[in-house]
């Protein structure tokens, strides 16, 4: 009986150990014994920020010797589900996605049933994933991104300033949260500031340029632009440049994400600041967690949710970001 109990204890320990390593199956060469982990990332690769995300995840995959495949769901729910179906059949160990704001429960379960881990990053579509403990996730606080930017604008905008706001796509929670922060901060701290108009530019530089072109025709005096993304802030700058604007000491343009073009324009004095949602932090922390999971020191199947706060990039610290972008070949 004692021998049986000892055997049972050992067997249970082995089962527990195996369960911890879900998502870390040997997807390498069985003859050589190599264990190359396969990672899939599902992003919106027409978006400049997502391109940066992909690059950072690739760098971390290279560091760990993982194989990484990147998929572009083009901000399309149907395409996202198709990609999820494909990766569930692709022998992946980890799937990292910017889950869109939709019901992806069945797709997530399919990926997990295939033996892969699922990890959500970024702002939209995450509440039910966290609340129902479907998978682990990590976000940067979207309201805080808008708040930190608006607080700087509140400090810098001239008295009785006129500003315009550039928004992301209709219904996108990250744009909604950032814009709410703009309004909350300005109404509380700068009631003298007038918001002339706010328009959707869908995160796109070209659309933001058109909106800014139109505003310059309608409003004789615009002192500032608050953009829910750097791509749109850059579009506003390029509209002004195209139209011969040169009074940059009296123009206040702000963006979000800390992208390379925004950093370049901050150094040139065309933009005042950008709220950094650091893709390096997403990639580093998620891939480190996965590595720890595969080593058996962390359980990536257990419910967990992570959140980090943004930082502000301005003239005082932009050189650090420029140097980084040059080192990785983006600038």
Residue with the larger pLDDT of the pair 318 and 330: 318
Summarised one tens digit per residue, pLDDT across range 85-110 is 999 999 999 999 999 888 999 999 99
In sequence order, the β-bridge partners of residue 198 are: 165
Q: Can you give the pLDDT at residue 125?
A: 65
pLDDT of residue 168 exceeding 80: yes
Write down how long the chain is: 331
Residues with Cβ within 8 Å of 107's Cβ and at least 6 positions away in sequence, in order, are 80, 81, 84, 85, 88
Do residues 35 and 23 touch, judged by C-beta distance below 8 A? Answer: no
Distance CA 45, CA 57 (A): 13
Give mean pLDDT, residues 184-203.
98
Residues 254-286 as b/e (b if ≥16 CB within 10 A, e otherwise) read bbbbbbbbbbbbbeeebbbbbbbbbbbbbbbeb
Please enumerate in sequence order all residues whose Cβ is within 8 A of that of 41, keeping only pairs 6 or more positions apart, or say none.
Answer: 53, 54, 57, 68, 69, 70, 71, 95, 96, 97
Look at the block and give the residue holding tokens 């982990």. Answer: 37
Tell me which residue of 226, 228, 238, 282 sits closest to 264, measured CA to CA. Answer: 238
Other CB atoms within 10 A of residue 107 CB:
22
DSSP element (H, E) containing 280: helix 279-295
| pLDDT tens profile 272-306 | 999 999 999 999 999 999 999 999 999 999 989 99
Q: What is the pTM of this model?
A: 0.83
Q: Which domains does the chain have, with CATH numbers?
A: 23-140+279-308 (3.40.50.2300), 143-276 (3.40.50.2300)
């Amino acid at each position: 009986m004692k021998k049986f109990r000892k055997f049972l204890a050992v067997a249970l320990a082995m089962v527990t150990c195996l369960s911890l390593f879900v998502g870390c199956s040997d997807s390498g060469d069985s003859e050589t014994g190599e264990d190359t982990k396969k990672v899939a990332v599902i992003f919106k690769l027409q978006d400049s920020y997502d391109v940066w995300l992909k690059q950072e995840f690739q760098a971390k995959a290279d560091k760990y010797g993982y194989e990484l495949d990147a998929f572009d769901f083009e901000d399309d729910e149907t395409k996202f589900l198709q990609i999820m179906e494909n990766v569930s059949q692709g022998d992946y160990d980890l799937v990292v996605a910017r889950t869109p704001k939709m019901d992806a429960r069945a797709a997530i379960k399919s990926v997990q049933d295939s033996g892969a881990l699922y990890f959500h990053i970024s702002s939209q579509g995450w509440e039910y994933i966290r609340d129902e403990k479907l998978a682990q996730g990590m976000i940067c606080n979207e309201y805080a991104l808008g708040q930190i930017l608006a607080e700087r604008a509140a400090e810098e905008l001239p008295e009785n300033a006129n500003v315009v706001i550039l928004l992301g796509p209709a219904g996108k929670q990250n744009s909604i949260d950032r814009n709410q922060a703009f309004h909350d901060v300005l109404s509380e701290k700068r009631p003298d500031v007038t918001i002339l108009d706010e328009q959707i530019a869908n995160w796109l530089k070209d659309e933001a340029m058109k909106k800014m072109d139109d505003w310059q025709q309608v409003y004789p005096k615009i002192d500032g632009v608050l953009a829910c993304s750097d791509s749109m802030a850059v579009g506003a700058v390029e509209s002004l440049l195209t139209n011969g604007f040169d009074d940059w000491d009296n123009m206040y343009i702000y963006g979000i994400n800390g992208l390379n073009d925004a950093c370049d324009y901050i150094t040139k004095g065309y933009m005042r600041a950008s709220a950094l949602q650091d893709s390096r932090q997403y990639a580093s922390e998620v891939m480190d967690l996965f590595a720890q999971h595969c080593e058996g020191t962390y359980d990536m199947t257990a419910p967990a949710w992570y959140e980090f706060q943004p930082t502000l990039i301005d003239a005082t610290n932009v050189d650090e970001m420029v140097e980084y972008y040059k080192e990785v070949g983006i600038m």
